[in-house]
Amino acid sequence: MRHITKMALCAAGCTAAALALAAGQSDEIAKYRQLLAEGNPAELWEMRGEELWKQKTGPNNVSLEQCDLGKGPGIVKGAYAELPRYFKDTRQVMDLEQRLRYCRMTLQGLTAEQASAQPFSATGKASDIEPMVAYITAESRGIAMNVSISHPEEKRAYEIGKKLFFYRGGSHDFSCASCHSADRMRIRMQDLPNLTVKADAQAAYTSWPAYRVSQGEVRTMQHRLNDCFRQQRFPEPMYASEAITAVTMFLAHNANGGVYQGPTLKR
Amino acid sequence: MKQMKTVMAIAVLLCGGAAAAADKYAQEAAALLKADFKSKGPATLERVTAQDDAQKDCSSPTALPPAKAKALEAAQLKAVKYPSDGKYLGDWKAGERIAQNGRGMQSSDKAGDVNGGNCYACHQVSKEEISFGNIGPSLYQYGRLRGDSEAILKYTWAKLYNAQAFNACSRMPRFGHNGVLTEQQLKDVMALLLDPESPVNK
């Protein structure tokens, strides 16, 4: 309850900040973020995600605790900081959400459709995926990103992701790079990270997933990418697709060395 | 001499190999776009997979070589369609609404809806609007500084119609060329920039 009051106050503070002149507005937003980070509602998603992870369910009535996220069955700690990665069992580069789907199918016996149902919560329709992603990513908090491209398939995913990042198309000729390949650019009052340079790529990538104050939900990296593609005037990417993994690989590897912070809190 | 020839032959082979790999990745990326994205509303898959020459040439992390950039600009300028009735200026108030409107052509928009120009996303335009981006230059006082000679009218029209006619691979959408804004909407944005009564020139 105390947090809710604090958040309401902060929201009012942010409106005031938005009315201030453009100069110095970034500082105000940074202060606002710091204030909110003290009581991040994402913790509730992390707790719920851990419950779901450990809950016996599906036709096989088993938990996900033996899921191999890349560091061996049952190891969640630090796994996200090394994803996406090549998995020998599927002979495929997978990101977290592809791997989570794979484990729900192979361990619990869910169908592909069941294992990718409701990737993003909507009004009245809760997502099991968002809390589980919040739990798994939180288990890498404080760990430096270390995403390998040494396997040929990892290198291939990275290079395809890079091509997709710079691919211009659609009614507005936009690519990811239109907004994210130069320093200190801003859309309206929103600062844009330059995802082709280390410091910005690290700061941006290590901050997702995030609890979105404006949406009241924890949103994943794929949710963020979907929204980017929407504003880019691109069609809609499919959930847990190879294309999304490739773009994620490009962004994650560029963020190597950055300390993972998520799930964080954003406007 | 022989040694040098061998070195050069190897260099050619290596460069050729790298270029072939880059092409392969580009093809695989294009295939993934087709397989992993689905049309929604006005944001169709076809519109993204069918890249035109400018989109193809500008999809690289490195800038175009100057000669290629000049050729691209010339080709884009050639395709500019000027107003059919010879009148360049519409209503600046309608232009301001277009400049503020960030909707249109997104997967979340309705097909057939009126598109915005979203000028403020990247440019300062009028002084009253303080929420503006910095990707493009400030357009405040645009007309006041330049006047409204035929040459300025024609240049400004062409710039809005197709920014790449003057700046290859510009980040600015080709509003006329790509049919994002109608001729009337372009006239209204022209008036926002050039009409002495527009807040831009106050």
> Can you give the pLDDT at residue B58?
98
Q: Are residues A121 and A211 in the same domain?
A: yes
Considering the domain architecture, whether residues A6 and A67 belong to the same structural domain is answered as: no
> Does residue B96 sit in the same domain as residue B184?
yes
Residue B15 domain flag: yes
pLDDT tens for A77-91 read 999 999 999 999 999
Please check whether residues A138 and A190 belong to one and the same domain.
yes
> Is residue B153 in a domain?
yes
Q: What pLDDT is stored for residue A37 in this prediction?
A: 63
Same domain, A35 and A138: no
Q: Residue B56: closest CA among chain A residues belongs to which residue?
A: A168
Roughly what angle, to the nearest 10 degrees, separates helices A242-254 and A152-166?
90
- Whether residue A187 sits in one domain with residue A96: yes
Expressed as residue numbers, the domain containing A107 is: 40-266
Number of domains in chain A: 2
Q: Does A93 touch chain B (CB under 8 A)?
A: no
Contact flag B29-A173 (C-beta cutoff 8 Å): no
Q: What is the ipTM of this complex?
A: 0.91
Closest-CA distance, A143 to chain B, in angstroms, reads: 30
Same-domain pairing of A86 and A137: yes
First-to-last alpha carbon distance for chain A, in angstroms, is 19
Structural domain harbouring B28: 1-36
- Do B123 and B190 have their domain in common? yes
pLDDT of residue B21: 78
Within a 10 A sphere around the Cβ of A257, how many other Cβ atoms?
12
Residues of chain B where predicted confidence (pLDDT) is lower than 70: 1-17
Q: Is residue B66 part of a domain?
A: no
B119, B99 contact by CB (below 8 A)? yes
With a pLDDT cut of 90, the percent of chain A lying above it is 84
CATH number at residue B189: 1.10.760.10
pLDDT surpasses 60 at A6: no
**Are B189 and B160 within 8 A, CB to CB?**
yes
A171: contact with B, CB 8 A cutoff: yes
Beta carbons of B134 and A160 less than 8 Å apart: no
Is residue A74 domain-shared with residue A195, that is, in the same domain?
yes
Q: How far apart are CA B46 and CA B28, in angstroms?
A: 17
Whether B188 and B109 map to the same domain: the answer is yes
Per-window interface: A 106-145 vs B, CB < 8 A: none
The CATH number of whichever domain residue A65 belongs to comes to 1.10.760.10
Q: What per-residue confidence (pLDDT) applies to B15?
A: 53
Domain count, chain B: 2
Which of B23, B34, B61 has the alpha carbon at shortest distance from A168?
B61
Position B45 in a domain: no
Q: State whether A89 and A116 are in the same domain.
A: yes
* A211 has pLDDT over 80: yes
Residues A14 and A94 in one domain: no
Measured between beta carbons, the chain A residues lying within 8 angstroms of B18 are none
Q: Using the Cα atoms of residue B146, residue B121, residue A10 and residue A184 in order, give the sign of their dihedral.
A: negative
Of B28, B37, B60, the CB nearest to A160: B28
